[in-house]
């Protein structure tokens, strides 16, 4: 079983997505929790439409610009639990969705 830690986009720094496509072993994704938020989270993934769409979807659902707090801060506002928790899950979902569209071997169907 392969375990990939998704924290501060670590998965993209350690695993090339082309190589990731070729993996066939059982996979587990472990997403971060409280304390892993940081100003600028998802910034390095904004070139992907699925990530931008995820941020837009969350902003719409929450009826405020969580994405702006995630990307620009201030840190004091991002670290408030009512912002940190949705920011962390938003980041995790964006990474997960990106993996789904970039890898033919990774899908929710396997659950």
Q: What is the pLDDT of residues 64-80, one digit of tens each?
A: 999 999 999 999 999 99
CA R_g for the chain: 14
Q: Residues 85-92: what's their mean pLDDT?
A: 94
3-state DSSP helix/strand/coil % of the chain, to nearest 5: 55, 5, 35
- Whether omega for the bond prior to residue 50 falls within 30 degrees of 0, making it cis, is no
Q: What are the pLDDT digits (tens) for 12-60?
A: 433 444 444 455 455 667 788 889 999 999 999 999 999 999 999 999 9
- What pairs with residue 15 in β-bridges? none
Spatial contact of 103 and 22, defined as CB atoms under 8 Å apart? no
Q: What is the pTM of this model?
A: 0.71
Closest to 39 (Cα-Cα) out of 96, 80, 6: 80
């Amino acid at each position: 079983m392969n375990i990939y830690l998704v924290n501060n986009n670590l998965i993209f720094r350690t695993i090339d997505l082309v190589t990731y496509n070729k993996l066939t072993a059982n996979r587990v994704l472990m997403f971060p929790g409280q304390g892993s938020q940081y100003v600028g989270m998802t910034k390095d993934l904004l070139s992907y439409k699925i990530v931008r769409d995820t941020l837009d979807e969350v902003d719409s659902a929450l009826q405020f610009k969580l994405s702006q707090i995630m990307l620009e801060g201030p840190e004091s506002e991002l670290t408030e639990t009512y912002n940190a928790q949705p920011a962390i899950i938003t980041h995790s979902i964006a990474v997960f969705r990106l993996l789904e569209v970039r890898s033919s071997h990774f899908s929710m169907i396997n659950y």
